[in-house]
Structure 1
Amino acid sequence: MTELKINPHFEDFIYDWDHTNYLLVGGYGSSKSFHCAAKIVLKLLSEKRTALVVRNTFETHRESTYALFREIVKDHLELHNQFNFTLNPMQIIFPNGSKIIFKGGDSTEKLKSLVNISLIWIEECSEIREEVYHELKGRLRHPTLPLHTLLSTNPVSKNNWTYRFFFKDDLKDYFKLSDEELYEKRIVKLDDTYYHHSVVTDNKFATEEYIKGLQETKEYDPDTYRIKFEGRFGFSGLRVFNAFVTMPHDEMVEKIRKIQNPSRHCGMDFGFATSYNCLVRMVIDNDENILYIHYEYYDKGKTDPETAEDLKEFTWTKELIKADSAEPKTIKYFKQQGFNMRSAKKYKGSRLQYTKKVKRFKKIICSDACPNVIRELQWLTYKKDSKGIIHEDEFAIDPHSLSAIWYGLDTFDIADLKGGKMELTKESLGIW
């Protein structure tokens, strides 16, 4: 190998192989991707291994990770002519028989045939789904070699699975490491995970013009500055529900009791393996145009009979539940079990119209007894396409609670402002 130009802040990372997981979090231009690729090349030259490199979409490899490996091999290896680079299939064969293969993470089915993978690099890991990460970890197996996973990402939203898995998840009362501690120490070695934080000023090869361009975003786009220059987690993008706030449950119960012109709504979204069954109870203050969300059911992996048992109180209250019309067999089953359940209307453009309906409330107040609704909706942002264009019916995550709210408000419109009063009982408020 000729001289490999390594940034000093990455030197410890390059040569550390004492950990199972390596998480690199950093701003734009910090050189984390280059050093992940260099670390893998060095390892595969010293040991015969098969490494898997994953991005969410396979097509993005050619101009990013694949090109980066070619650059490192061509510019820094005297024996670069002995490497075999192919595009179909996309792979790199080393002189000693080591191999790098490239896959997309948008389908777990594409990953199940992989064997003898002892090293995985997930580039832009925040873009893949958490279940894909766990599927990839299951692909790691070798009879003799130690197993390693590298993950690199720009720190996007704290709602992202990467933050919740490696740092903190309030919903699960899970804590592993404070991101603030990582920003302060820059490198943290905790149990089987190596944490590394980097910013553009750690890259001695970044131009002054490039650094200045990132710094200038502070004046007009603080959110972009936080991600691109500071390399810090937060909440990214255009927020969907600016009127969303939370309230202690006992306080909400008292608020609801005092509503003069209320209406009650229940909605349910169905799921099973990767998505969730979600049911919400809502009360609308029609005089004040406020939506109160005071009850949630949120679970997955359960059969219809198991879910029906969990929700059997609804067979006693006979509350109307509007549910996803895409599951007519499920709705029929619940009706047979004594639930007052009907299909909500779905049509082309209904996602956008339902979202606009929810946004028309002056306030959306959620009980702190609904942690999943809070997690999904408090900082829900719109999804951007590859050109940076926002689509008002697509979101950065799949919010099951929002679908349940959509269905529950299926028949609610402006006419409901003149609706009659609802008898407020403990049962109607979801208090048992």
Structure 2
Amino acid sequence: MINNVRVSLKEIVGGGYKTFWNYKGRYRVVKGGRGSKKSTTTALNIIYRMMQFPQANTLVVRKVFKDHKDSTYAQLKWAIRRLKVEHLWEWTKSPLEIRYKPTGQKILFRGLDDPMSVTSITVDVGNLCWAWFEEAYQILNEDDFNKVDMSIRGELPPGYYKQITLTFNPWNEKHWLKRRFFDVQDNNILAFTTNYKCNEFLGDDDRQLFDWMKKNNLRRYKIEGLGEWGIAEGAIFTNWREFAFDRFEIAKREGIKSAFGLDFGFTTDPSALACSLVDIKNRELYIFDEMYRPGLLNNEIAETITDMGYRKELIIADSAEQKSIAELRKYGLKKIKPAEKGPDSIKAGIQFLQQFTIFIHPKCSNAAMEFSNYVWDKNKDGKLINKPVDEYNHFIDALRYSMEPIKKRLRLQEVKP
């Protein structure tokens, strides 16, 4: 079955990751900006290593299981083709697995939204040696990581080793990942930062985007370009936490209202749909679903919302996009309406949201990311001012729009005799 294939790893992988590629300690932790090759290099390394170690199996973990299909699963299939060994591998979507045909080794995919599936893993051949946490920043609870860490255990054949790889964008310096892996000296940890400058496979248009970001949005460039830690000083929202609530149980409460809002994106910025349940009496807001995708045309936005099951819902959208709203109605979102906004609507919307205790379901990782990074701006003296920085706010803007009917309802109740 095995045919010899000669490839140049130097040409396929490129530079900047030699130490990472050869490291055999317990933890490999890579934070980096966009386009830094961290995920694609990890995928290549996993495929290459599994073909070297015929008793090794790999577990790939994301916070939400459904996110694998278009990220890690696709990246590993790409790596197989890139290494020209697709004749030796097979992949299935149900169950979501990749199998090395000569030995039966497997790459397994799991999500932290199903804890039992992560902690009760068995393999048919060999040992579970390695794990890869992609978008590890989305894991807000360190204990969720520890449970998987403890499952990579047991005696291995001579020459084998256990290892967990974590890759992520460093949105916030207060995240447990910094304290756990970057603020310590430990011979069992390789933790480093990478960025787009080591990626020789980027096109000129990609580099021009980073040049534009450097000139026009330095804070974002430092995080998404250079891979530096984001600083969350001046957080706007401190009234939220992640909570795995049952949406349908919350919906049974008396007086619960649903709220849907849409913010339109561009080529690189995401279109965001915020879906929540609002307990007006107890001033609680439950964010249960999200859409967060860049580059969507209006017909694709409509298709996505329809597939999510929200076509018939009242959706409050950004009123700056009247033409897009009209198009979405033609595509079947009959109840979509423009936001009213009004004077100083951003600060007013923020103040209204601050009156609620906000619960974000763990599957809404982009909502949590924005709530972690939405901050007040600073003046030339470095002091915070009463104006938010215009970034990490696509979902939050959509959430503000969605709450307009709730806010109007409360105003009407206040003026009743």
TM-score interval, normalised by the smaller of the two chains: 0.5 to 0.7
Distance 1:109 1:41, change over 3 A: same
Partner of 2:196: 200
1:209 match: 205
- Between the aligned partners of 1:141 and 1:381, the Cα distance in structure 2 is 35
Alignment partner of 2:175 out of 131, 156, 160: 160
Q: Which aligned pairs between 1:30-429 and structure 2 lie closer than 5 A?
A: 30-47=36-53, 48-77=55-84, 79-94=85-100, 95-115=102-122, 116-128=127-139, 129-144=141-156, 145-168=160-183, 176=184, 190-235=186-231, 239-240=235-236, 347=281, 349-350=283-284, 356=351, 381-382=373-374, 388-390=394-396
**2:374–2:393 CA contact under 8 A, matched in 1:** no
Contact kept? 1:45, 1:98, Cα under 8 Å: no
- Note the residue ranges of structure 2 that are not aligned, 5 or more in a row: 245-252, 254-278, 287-347, 356-370, 376-389, 401-417
Change (3 A) 1:107 1:382: farther
> Counterpart amino acid of 1:141?
R
Q: Against the structure 1 CA distance between its residues 34 and 380, is the aligned structure 2 distance closer, same or farther, given a 3 Å change threshold?
A: closer
User: In structure 1, what residue type is equivalent to 2:49?
Assistant: K
TM-superposed deviation, 1:76: 1.5
Per the alignment, residue 8 of structure 2 pairs with 3
CA pair 205-358 structure 1, distance change in 2 beyond 3 A:
closer
- Quote how far apart the aligned CAs of 1:60 are: 1.6
**CA distance in 2 between partners of 1:3 and 1:65 (Å):** 23
Please report how far the alpha carbon of residue 206 of structure 1 lies from its aligned counterpart in structure 2 after TM superposition: 1.0
State the superposition RMSD in angstroms. Answer: 4.0
2 CA distance for matches of 1:388 and 1:209? 24
- Asked whether the 8 Å contact 2:60–2:107 carries over to 1, the reply is yes
Q: Percent same amino acid among aligned pairs?
A: 21
Q: Distance in 2 between matches of 1:380 and 1:39?
A: 31
Give the count of matched residue pairs.
Answer: 262
1:124-171 deviation line (CA, Å, top 9, x unaligned): 101123221111101102321421000001111012121122234xxx
TM-score by length of 1: 0.53
Tell me the residue number matched to 2:296.
Answer: none
Residue 292 of structure 1 is matched in structure 2 by none
Q: SS at 1:53's partner residue?
A: strand
In structure 1, the gaps of 5 or more residues are 169-175, 178-189, 245-268, 275-325, 327-344, 361-378, 395-432
What is the TM-score of this pair, normalised by structure 2? 0.55
AA partner of residue 216 (structure 1) = W
The whole-number CA distance in structure 2 between the counterparts of 1:201 and 1:11 is 15
Given that 1:25 and 1:155 are in contact with CA atoms closer than 8 Å, whether structure 2 keeps it comes out as yes
Letter in 1 for 2:219: D
AA partner of residue 155 (structure 2):
P
Instruction: Name the amino acid aligned to 2:135.
Output: E
What displacement does 1:348 show?
Answer: 5.9
1-structure distance, mates of 2:234, 2:113:
24
